[in-house]
Structure 1
């Protein structure tokens, strides 16, 4: 712990040390926030019956160290338990200092999630409710106008009303477009990404879209928006900079995360090039604001190409994890 570069390195250092030194299959360190337990580091798979150790600081539980059992063991060795309990106590002050950062990050994620969910609700309500209602009123006005004699003075007044309704319909469309990417509201994430791939596909660049599973499960609005924006920005970078002939967008969803990968066979960044552009920063920020991460690798295919990979967690967005239940925390 004392040799860790900073307090942020302690969770990963502690988990790696526990696994390597005690030869346990897995270790995980989570911090307790108002939104629930947030995993700071994990090595290996904890299995079905992990053992948990409270991390206490000034009388409060600030975190939890969890370890998996060795194969064939029904419970943790007593000596190992004493060592791990001591490690949890030693690391508790550092974890307490990380808690505030995680609280802030959690609050930001909740704000972004609530914002995007509300935008999606508003977009749906306006698109499905107000938009059709205005279109119906305009049609009735036009039908009434058509039934009037040509010399009737009301025709001009009704035409003006119809024009005003047309302007209102256009304004409704502009509002819904500002609430989020229009293709998402109309086609869902699957259809929006397919449309995006088709828009960039052409004679010079072949773009394919791949989904696993073939039909994506329902996702929180914040995840959908981030995935679509990151894919669009990555493809835009391919067209502007990569000089590629092929590109692929892959969206893979599992129980924990949605992974967005955009690969091309272009020129890459170039050795030693500074690739911290606005677009790359934007993709990283979009992922980070919902608790995810975005990485960019160059020369991924025989010395060519670039890979953008964003991992967007589903569990930290949409619904918060449950806080540490007292019954599951075993102090030793």
Structure 2
């Protein structure tokens, strides 16, 4: 091997090693997030539910004192707020619907909730049947959609978004298109926070699985994020 060819070989080998390491780190991080989410559900969730039941029983035994009843109502509202915060933390750490109900339900409900919460016309086109993909593929699709929707709210100023999942024998593709200001108009804003790094990590995760992630501005405005992941051979 010539002296000129050695650096090229080294760079390619180093890139492959870094890609494998990143894939391993992401897999470990996903498992840790899933574990933490389940701990919040099993431990804190059950404790909060028990506290709510005990408070209800205690309230029934209180004398009809307006001050005591008002304090009991405040405690009940506080508990409900803590329960809701705990539920949101669980969901942000790990979306259990991905495993228990499948990627179709997880993606579809995420789009529906996004539209209702932010007043955006959110449309979703999904395969009729559950895609047959490894768990790693489904996680990347869900994370990519989460990141795309987050960026739409933070930077795109969009009023509508279309999410399409195409599934065939060889690959699965996620497309998220909005009618916002376009990637060039808010690129500075993306660079100012973690969104840029979030997309880079997702792109590397897609590459690790043999796929691609692209983010382009449309000719008529708006931005389109596309993730293409090849399916492993049977």
Q: 1:297 aligns to what?
A: 216
Report whether the alignment pairs 1:247 with 2:161.
Answer: yes
By how many angstroms is 1:209 displaced? 0.6
Q: Secondary structure at the match of 1:100?
A: helix
Query: Does the Cα contact within 8 Å between 1:267 and 1:304 map onto a contact in 2?
Result: yes
1:259 aligns with 2:173: yes
Find the counterpart in structure 1 of residue 146 from structure 2: 229
Structure 1: segments with no counterpart, 5+ residues: 8-91, 316-320, 322-332
Matched, 1:209 2:95: no
**Which one has a larger percent helix, Structure 1 or Structure 2?**
2
1:287–1:312 Cα contact (<8 Å) kept: no
Cα 1:197–1:222, aligned 2, differ >3 Å: closer, same or farther? closer
Cα RMSD after superposing both structures: 4.7
Name the TM-score, length of structure 2 as normaliser: 0.63
104, 107, 112: which one pairs with 1:193?
A: 107
Q: Deviations over 1:85-137 (max 9, x none)?
A: xxxxxxx8844542222112211111111211221233134325541343034
The answer to which structure has the higher strand fraction is 1
Match of 1:311 in 2: 228
Shift of 1:205: 5.9
Q: Deviations over 1:46-74 (max 9, x none)?
A: xxxxxxxxxxxxxxxxxxxxxxxxxxxxx
Q: CA separation in 1, counterparts of 2:213 and 2:57? A: 54
Report how many aligned residue pairs link the two structures.
215
Task: Name the residue aligned to 2:36.
Answer: 122
**1:150 corresponds to:** 63
Find the residue that maps to 2:126 and give its secondary structure. Answer: strand
Which residue in 2 is equivalent to 1:283?
199
Cα drift, residue 237 of structure 1: 6.8
Q: Cα deviations across residues 168-212 of structure 1 (Å, max 9, x unaligned)?
A: 64563364255246986997643443344333379x964311123
- Cα distance in 2 for partners of 1:237, 1:228 equals 14
CA distance in 1, matches of 2:25, 2:92: 18
- Name the larger-Rg structure: 1
CA-CA distance at 1:281 after TM superposition: 5.4
